[in-house]
Amino acid sequence: MSKLFSDENKAAFTNPLNLNNPITVQVLGICSALAVTSQLKPAIVMGLSVTVITAFSNVIISLLRKTIPNRIRIIVQLVVVAALVTIVSQLLKAYVYDVSVQLSVYVGLIITNCILMGRLEAFAMQNGPWPSFLDGIGNGLGYAAILVIVGFVRELFGFGTLWGYPVIPKFLYEAGYQNNGMMVMPAMSLIIVGCVIWAHRAYNKEEK
């Protein structure tokens, strides 16, 4: 048991949540972070999908790592990721159809998410299945956390709702308040991601 939660394994899980966050530090996966975060719900579903896919593709590649010929490793990794993406996409269609419609192509495009290939190449090819699993979960959640922050801000100011429920009181609208149309556009989410990165780096100034 102690070995399962050794310091190294813990680091594999916690690093990507903060100091090695895929979005704010490695600046990977920005594309989908801009596209799916106009509301909280799709942002969370997307974050969880990426977490699951990263974790399990990490485990599978880590199990196969000694048998994969080096020259064709990318295509093997892609096949594994593609299979997992298809499964997740079908599950979403079966159980949360409206969200999967909202996410549209971006579920399928998880294949091209740099975080996945990055983790497979950088971590799963060198480590055992258990650390790889933790690493995948950590990276996925680190990605999801930023998506939730951006989705929260955008839905609150862009639509005046959270998780679909109106939260901005009616009297504010009557007093002349208006939803911010720019929050709905992807351009604004890039600015918000930028602000998140700014805050994160200012907070962790001494670490680097």
Partner 1 sequence: MNPIKKLFDNIHPYVEEGGKFHAFRSLVDGFETFAFVPNTTSRVGSVNIHDAIDSKRIMSFVVIALLPALFFGMFNVGYQNALACGKLAEATFWGMFWYGFLAVLPKIIVSYVVGLGIEFVVAQWKNEEIQEGFLVSGIIIPMIVPVTCPLWMLAVAVAFSVILAKEIFGGTGMNIFNPALITRAFLFFSYPSCMTGDATVWVAQDTILGLGYKATDAFTAATPLGEAAQAGFTGFTPDTIQNAITGLIPGCIGETSVIAIALGGLLLLWTGVASWKTMLSVFVGGAATGYLMQVLGLTQIEWYEQLVLGGFAFGAVFMATDPVTSCRTECGKYVYGLLIGFIAVLVRVLNLGYPEGMMLAILLMNLFASLIDYCFVQSNINKRAKRAIIKK
Q: Which is nearer to partner 1, 130 or 157 (CB)?
A: 157
Q: Identify the residue among 163, 170, 181, 203 touching partner 1 (CB under 8 A).
A: 181
* Site stretch for partner 1 (CB under 8 A), options 55-63, 103-111, 129-137, 172-180: 172-180
Dihedral over Cα of 114, 193, 49, 139: its sign: positive
88: closest CA among 120, 37, 119, 53?
53
Q: Which is nearer to partner 1, 26 or 180 (CB)?
A: 180
Shortest separation between residue 39's beta carbon and partner 1, angstroms = 17
Q: Which is nearer to partner 1, 63 or 172 (CB)?
A: 172
* Site stretch for partner 1 (CB under 8 A), options 24-32, 77-85, 94-102, 176-184: 176-184
User: For 183, what's the count of Cα atoms within 13 Å in the CB-facing half-sphere?
Assistant: 18
Q: Identify the residue among 76, 185, 190, 197 touching partner 1 (CB under 8 A).
A: 185
Structure tokens belonging to residue 3: 């070995």
Q: Which is nearer to partner 1, 166 or 194 (CB)?
A: 194
Q: Which of residues 27-46 bind partner 1 (CB under 8 A)?
A: none
Q: Does residue 176 touch partner 1 according to CB under 8 A?
A: yes
Q: Which helix (H) or strand (E) holds 191?
A: helix 186-203
Cα 92-95-100 angle, rounded to 5 deg: 35
Bridge partners (DSSP) listed for residue 92: none
Q: Which is nearer to partner 1, 75 or 182 (CB)?
A: 182
* Site stretch for partner 1 (CB under 8 A), options 63-71, 83-91, 101-109, 177-185: 177-185
Cα 90-47-120 angle, rounded to 5 deg: 85
Q: Which is nearer to partner 1, 61 or 183 (CB)?
A: 183
171: closest CA among 182, 155, 160, 157?
160
Query: How many chain residues bind partner 1 (CB under 8 A)?
Result: 10
Q: Does residue 169 touch partner 1 according to CB under 8 A?
A: no
Longest Cα separation, the chain: 67
Strands 165-166 and 161-162: antiparallel
Residue ranges in contact with partner 1 by CB under 8 A:
176-178, 180-183, 185, 187, 191
